[in-house]
Every structure is written in C-alpha cells, then in structure tokens.
Chains A and B, each alone.
Chain A
Amino acid sequence: MALTAVPKKRPLPGRPGKPGKPEKQGKPGLTGKRGLPYLLIAPAGLLMLGFIAYPMLSVLYYSLQHYNVTKPWRNGFAGLDNFREIFFEDPLFWQTLAFSAKWVVAEVGLQLVFGLALALIVNQTFVGRGIARALVFSPWAVSGVLTTTIWILLYNPSTGLSRYLADAGIGEYGTSVLSDTGTVFWAAVLAELWRGVPFFAILILADLQSISKDLYEAASVDGAGRFRQFWHITLPHLKDAIILSTLLRAVWEFNNVDLLYTLTGGGPAGVTTTLPLYVANTGIEGHDFGYASALTTVAFVILLFCSILYLRLSKFGGDDK
C-alpha cells in the first residue's frame, strides 16, 4: 500500500505568531487550560500511585531487606543478599520457575487451540447458536475458587469419577488423579483449561466478526478451500488478537495461585508448586517477607522481559505486508 508523506508541521497561513513560538493558551496553573488535563487525570494518577506504584515500590523495598515478622532480630538491610540466594543457593526457585514455564506453555497453548476452535464453531450460523455461545462462555463467569471446588468434587475418591469407575470395575477404589504425581499435572491443566478456554473464544470471536465477508467470497471465487481461507484470511486477521490474548493469558497463568493453591496446594510432594505459590508459602507460611519480595521482584522482571521479547518477535501491531 502506498503511503502519502505527511508534511512537517508548520504555521497555518493567516494565523498570528512567530513560527516555533507556542501560542498563549489561557492562564497558567491548575485552573487554566494548560492545567486542566493534569487535573482531569489526577484521580486516575492517584489511584495508580496508590494501587500500582505503592505496592510495587513496597515490594522492591522489602526485597532489599531481611524481613521476617517472627524474627525481628534478623531484620535489617540485606542489599542484594536475597537475590544472590535466589540465583545461587535456592534450588526451589529454579524448580518452581521451570514448573511455571511448563504450566504457562501447556495452558496457553491448549487454551488457544481450543478457544480458536470453539470461536470458529460458534461463529458459524446454526440452530441454537445463542445457547452454544452461552455454554462456551459460561465457565469464564465462574470464580477460580469455585472452579476448584467443582473439580475437587470431580476428582474426589469417594464422590468423584474415580469412585464410579471403580464401581464399574475400572481402576481401584480410594484413588485420585490429584494424589498421583504422574497425573496431577494434567488433572490441574484440565481444570484450568475449562476455565481459560472461554477467554480465548470470546476475544477471537469478537475479532472474527470484524472480518469482511467479501474477502471470503472473493477467495471462494478464486477457488480457495476452507483451509486456505482460514490460513490466508482468518489467521492473519486474528494475529494481533492472538498475540495480545496469549500475552495476557501467559501473564495470568504465570501468576496463577487460586486454582493450584486450592486444588493441589502445590503438591503432592511439591510437584505442582509454581513460583507464585512458592512466594506465597515463603511469605505466608514462612513469614519471610523479605525473601518473598525478592522472589516477586525476580518474577516481575522475568515476566517483563519475556513480554517485551514476545511483542518484539511477534511484531505486534505491525503491518504484515
């Protein structure tokens, strides 16, 4: 597509004032025209200071401290001690980070695939589409803890599926997928998948509906089949929606605490402990808020770095052509 060059800004003909000299715009100060924008954004700015900047600065501050509420004699400035310990002396950090990465890749990948598939299905015209859409989106309305409760009941050895399977002669009594280190990961993935797929389906469906039907008609006239239409029209059009939703979901899944905490508690034997769960255990159970803050800071930097890298590599918002 040819782009028209945008001319450099210059003074409009017939307007007073020298070029480059700003025009006088009302009286200065917060009540004047120049101050008004600041006044208008001040409430939002204050909220951001209170709810974003303050907690972040607070965590940063404590990450440089030894701060254990039950051991006041230990408290004091730590410098980079906490960070040195994280990177060089704490195998749990690396293990939980690796598990977090595995969790994010599995969850986001599967949620994207199933979400895309469901969005494509409910974007078609068929009888009962409204009900189908409501069903697809309904898990998103369920809270994390409630989702866990549903799945805990399903996995319960006395009242859940395994009990009925054992009654039917399949498997043993008294077993649960959550108590087997070989199955607990996929059991947790399934529970979170149930909740997370609608997020992708909603976002992708919204974007699907903005694709002009003319494109599909033209492609059809040119002899393109459904797969080629999907590959050359649908997917490129969805690119930005997919990048944004995968990024958001990856961050959320990385920070996921509610489902894993209530479903597995990070177990059995610590095999489902993510980095945020480790932070929670260190801070809440261990009362070591200094070290927990340092872990949080490291997790924040990792997420920030990965997000920037992902946006750069995926050329988010760029022109594909």
Chain B
Amino acid sequence: MTALPVAPAPTAPGPPPRKPRTIRPRDTPQPRPTNTQTETHDQERDSTMSGNNSRRPRARTLLALGISASLALTATACGGSGTETGSEGEGEGKIVFWDNNGGVRTEVWKKIITEFEKENPEIDVEYVGIPIADVQSKYDTAIQGGGDSLPDVGMVGTAYLANMVAQGALDPVGDRIEDSPLKGKLVNGMVESVKAAGGEKDQMFTVPTSANQGVLWYRKDMFDKADLPAPDTWENFYRAAEELTDRENNQFGFTIRGGAGSVAQALEMMYAQSGIESFWDGDRTTVNDPKNVEALEKYVALYNEYTPKADLNNDFTKMVATFTGGEVGMLQHNLGSYTDHVKAFGEERIGGLPMPPSSEGGPRTLVSNPVDGMGLFKSSGNKAAAWKFIEFAASAEMNSLWNESAGAIPAHTDAADDEWINKAEPTKAAMESLDDPNTKIVQLPYYLPDWNSISKADTEPNFQKLLLGRMTAEEFADDLAKRLNEAQVEWSEQKG
C-alpha cells in the first residue's frame, strides 16, 4: 500500500483523515453479555450495600430485574432494520408520503396530491416535507427504528439510493413499471442512472421523476455592461471571472462553493475542463489524473482572487444568497436554483449554460447529477394505494407540472416537449446538451455506500484546506482517490 499522500503543514489546525480501519467480518461471534454484566453489577452492588443483610435478596431481585429490563431494551434497539415486508393492502385508505425537499417543493406537491385525491377519493395522502439537508438522516433513523415510522412512498435521490437499498428499505419497482402506463415512457438515461445508483445490477428501486444538470449561471446585465461574451468556453469563463471582479466596489466575478457540497461541484468543474470521460479506469478512479489535478488548480485559484473570501463556508444557501445578493457575476450550480435566480433578477437578467466543452468545439464531459425518484417502501402496509400515487405523480401531466416548478428535466418522455421547457432557456440548454450524442456523461459512483461520507464528511474539510492553500490540488486529489479506490475494492468484493 502506498503511503497516504496527504501531508498538511505541521501548523495546520485542521484534522487529518483517520487511518483506514481493519474490520472483522460479520461472522465473528456475537457476544451474549447478560451473565457477565449481571455478575459485575451484582458485585458492585454488594460492595456498596449498607450492611442490611436481610434486604439483600429483595434488592438483588430488583437490581437483576432492572438490568434484565435494560438489556432487553438494548437488545430491542438493534432489532429494527426497516426491512419488514408490508402488504399490498386494499388499495385505499391513508398513505404517507415524504418529500425530500420540504418547503421548497411543498406547494407543487400539495397541488399534485389534491389532484390525486380528486381522482382517487378512496385514498388519503398525508404529505410530510423533510428539509433536503436532513432527508438522509431522517430515512436512516426511520429505517433503524424498525420501519414503523417510514412512509409508504418517498422521494429518493440517487445520491443516497444505494444506502437505502443496502438497508433493504425499498421495494424493487421494475415489475410494477412493466405493468403500468409508465412502461416505455421514462427517459432511458434516467432509468439507467437509477439502476446504476441502486447498486443491484438491473433492479430499479425508484421511478425516476427528474434529472438535474450542472449549469453556469451568469448575470446577463453585468456581462453586457462589461461587454463580455457569455461563458460558453472555459476561456470566456475565466476571463469574465477576472474582468467582472472589482473588490474595491464589492463586486466579484464568481462565487465558489467552499462549504457543504463543495466536492461534487469541484468534480463537475474538473471533469468538464479535463475532458476525461470516465470516473474509473479499471478499479482505479481518474479523480487524480494529472489533467483533473490541473483543472482543479485553475478552479480553486479563483478563490479569494475573484470570489469573496467568505466563500470558504459557502453551502448551497449561502452561495445562492451571495449570487442573488447582486454582487457576483457567475455561479456554478444545478438547475435547482433556477427559480431563485428568476425571483431575484427576472428571466431577462439571468442566463444559464451547460458546462463548456473541454476544448472549443469538442464534446462536453458532464458529471452525472443526482436523479430524483419515487420509492415504494418495503414496510408499507398499503402498497397498492402507494403505487397508484407513484403512477399518478410520475404521469406526463404531473411530472411536467413538478419539473416546471423545479426548473428540472422531466423524466416522462411525453413531458419533454411541453411549452414551458422552450421558454426556460437553461433547462432547454441542459436537455439539449444531454441529448447531444457527442456528450460524455461521467457517472459518479453513487452506488458506493461510502460515496456520501467520502465526498462530504471525509473530504470537505480537505477542500477548505485546499482553498486556504494548506493542501495542494495533487494532495487533495490523491487523498480522495485513495478513499474511493478502497471503497470500490470493498464494494467489488461484496457484490462480486
């Protein structure tokens, strides 16, 4: 094994990554601690008893009862897995639906649910909006709680689909799609993304509803004023970042994502610039390919030169707020923030382009963005009604309504030609770039159970070190690559 290439300066206060762990296989015998622990507690109790021997048996009984109850409760705690199989139910009654972007998408979901209940008066849908930042932990908690608190239907993104599949929380939906009006009506690329992200070969665990795409958002009015061309090439992008920056007057060319979610956006910039077409070269990731490292260096060099210094902590909310605050020329984010920009600037002042090709006139290399979908939970006791709701929400009309509200790419093929898409230029451009046969899609390894922890908790602090100059682009990429390679090897061993 090669030595860990991450070498932060000795004075760097940030925490270095933990060493890889050696873990025993699962067939190691489980402990049955009851006897030993009871004895230990009894001994402690005996040594602290206050000399009234006549009360010992009673106290011992009480203590033993207490310990037994505690251990019983503890044993219960590890019993839940969320994998209990529910039932089809009667196709009527109440179902619970979890939205994975509560607040932002609540309004459109209420409309869809109202329409559904009009058509299906025998079914009552209870809407629960979960904030997007908490959705995975909410699902995990509910799954580990035994599945009773899981919904019947939930919106599930491909970014955490593999985790939920690994925990056995979702029912496969491939067969149900075959027998439904959705058969042959879902965009093939999204179907493939959902299959790949589930990590169970050809099994589908969600019905895709929308796809996202990375976009370079730019302020048309600022570009016109500075007489700059739109950032449709990397040269134009970097030139605009420089020329739009006027730090003395609180104006910056770009805002970079330095906080939560920074790594996925950095990967998008790296692959789009380098033109590397695949995330893997065999079992080794291409993240630390010299071309990617070079692209990363150029990208992070923007920080504190043409971006605000405070961008170091930018998560989605702060980054979009910085951009819509009116002081920044460009932003890299997906289609999901389209409505925020329109609200802040109006459609005429905001432009959105797909990531430029790596070389002028060449093909684009786009990193796969998470595909949202509707999952049917294994623990549901009313799967027939839940499936009716999924079918309805994924239908052309409702899918179009939802995606128009979100500014995202619809998954239903009949919704692709709707009028609103022609009016929403960034969405249309994103769809065209995806449809372009020359475009190469770099599939991020959402199927890795470690993907989220590697790309977030493990690596985001390193990205901040990189921005602060405490780590080089090569060190960052090598560390990320090492973690990914190890995770891929483990996954390959388990999945064969």
Which of B73-81, B86-94, B331-339 lies at the interface with chain A? B73-81
**Nearest CB in chain B to that of A67: its residue:** B78
Q: Among A65, A85, A270, which residue has its beta carbon within 8 angstroms of that of B14?
A: A270
Given contacts A57-B74, A58-B74, A64-B31, contact A268 B464 (CB under 8 A): yes
User: What residues of chain A lie closer than 8 Å to B327, measured between beta carbons?
Assistant: 158, 173-174
Q: Which of B26, B321, B461 contacts A74 (CB 8 A)?
A: B26
Q: Is the CB of A61 within 8 A of B167?
A: no
Residues 57-103 of A at the B interface (beta carbon under 8 Å): 57-58, 61-62, 64-78, 81, 85, 89-92, 95-96
In the complex the two chains form, is A77's CB within 8 Å of B28's CB?
yes
Enumerate chain A residues within 8 angstroms of B163, measured Cβ to Cβ.
69-70, 287
Nearest CB to that of A88 among chain B residues?
B19
Chain B residues positioned under 8 Å from A71 (CB to CB): 166, 449-450, 490
B313 touches A178 (CB 8 A): yes
Among A6-14, A110-118, A278-286, which stretch is in contact with chain B? A278-286
> Which one of B101-109, B400-408, B428-436, B451-459 is at the A interface?
B451-459
What are the residues of chain B within 8 A of A264 when measuring CB–CB?
313
**A5 is an interface residue with CB less than 8 A from chain B:** no
Chain A residue numbers with a CB within 8 Å of B167 are: 69-70, 72
Answer yes or no: A181 CB below 8 A from chain B CBs: yes
Please, what's the 1-or-0 string for B307-328, where 1 marks a CB less than 8 Å from any CB in chain A?
1111111010000011001010
Neighbouring B residues of A196 by C-beta, 8 Å: none
Q: Are B310 and A157 in contact (CB under 8 A)?
A: yes
Instruction: Tell me, rounded to whole Å, the shortest Cβ–Cβ distance linking B95 to chain A.
Output: 25
Instruction: Confirm or deny: A139 has a beta carbon within 8 angstroms of a beta carbon on chain B.
Output: no
With a cutoff of 8 Å between Cβ atoms, the chain B residues found around residue A175 in the complex are 308-310
In the assembled complex, the CB of A54 is this many whole angstroms from the nearest CB of chain B, namely 5
The reply on A269 being an interface residue by CB < 8 A is yes
- Expressed in whole angstroms, the minimum distance between the Cβ of A157 and any Cβ of chain B is 4
Given the known interface contacts A76-B30, A176-B313, A287-B453, the answer about A158 and B461 at a Cβ–Cβ threshold of 8 Å is no
Instruction: Judge whether B23 and A74 touch: CB under 8 Å.
Output: yes
Asked if B465 contacts A285 (CB within 8 A), the reply is: no
Report if A271 contacts B (CB, 8 A).
yes
A149 at the interface (CB under 8 A from B): no
A198, chain B: closest CB distance, angstroms? 28
B17, B21, B143, B310: the one within 8 Å of A179 (CB) = B310
How many residues of chain B get a CB closer than 8 Å to chain A's CBs?
A: 74
- Decide if A269 touches B247 in the complex (CB within 8 Å): no
A135→B461 CA distance, assembly (Å): 38
Q: Are B166 and A269 touching (Cβ within 8 A)?
A: no
Taking CB atoms, residues of chain B closer than 8 Å to A286 are 453, 457-458
The answer, yes or no, to whether A36 is at the interface (CB within 8 Å) is: no
By beta carbon, the residue of chain A nearest B62 is A38
Q: B457 to A285, Cβ gap below 8 A?
A: yes
Q: In this assembly, does A172 line the interface, its C-beta being within 8 Å of a C-beta of chain B?
A: yes
- The residue that B73 contacts in the complex, of A57, A278, A284, with Cβ under 8 A, is A57
- Alpha-carbon distance A271/B12, docked complex (angstroms): 9
Q: Provided the pairs A91-B18, A158-B322 are in contact, do residues A53 and B464 lie with their beta carbons within 8 angstroms? A: no
A269 and B19: CB pair below 8 A?
A: no
| Neighbour of A73 across the interface among B26, B73, B162, B461, CB < 8 A | B26
Residue of B13, B167, B258 with most partner-chain A CB within 10 A: B13
Q: Is the CB of A173 within 8 A of B247?
A: yes
Is A166 positioned at the interface, with any CB of B under 8 Å from its CB? yes
B interface residues with partner A (beta carbon < 8 Å): 12-19, 21-31, 33, 54, 62, 66, 69-71, 73-74, 77-78, 137, 140, 143-144, 162-163, 166-167, 247-250, 252, 258-260, 307-313, 315, 321-322, 325, 327, 449-450, 452-453, 456-458, 460-462, 464-465, 468, 470, 490, 494
Sample 21 A-B pairs with CB under 8 A, ordered by A number. A22-B54, A38-B62, A49-B73, A54-B70, A61-B33, A65-B78, A74-B23, A78-B24, A78-B28, A85-B19, A174-B309, A174-B310, A179-B258, A265-B313, A267-B464, A268-B313, A269-B462, A269-B468, A273-B461, A285-B453, A288-B453
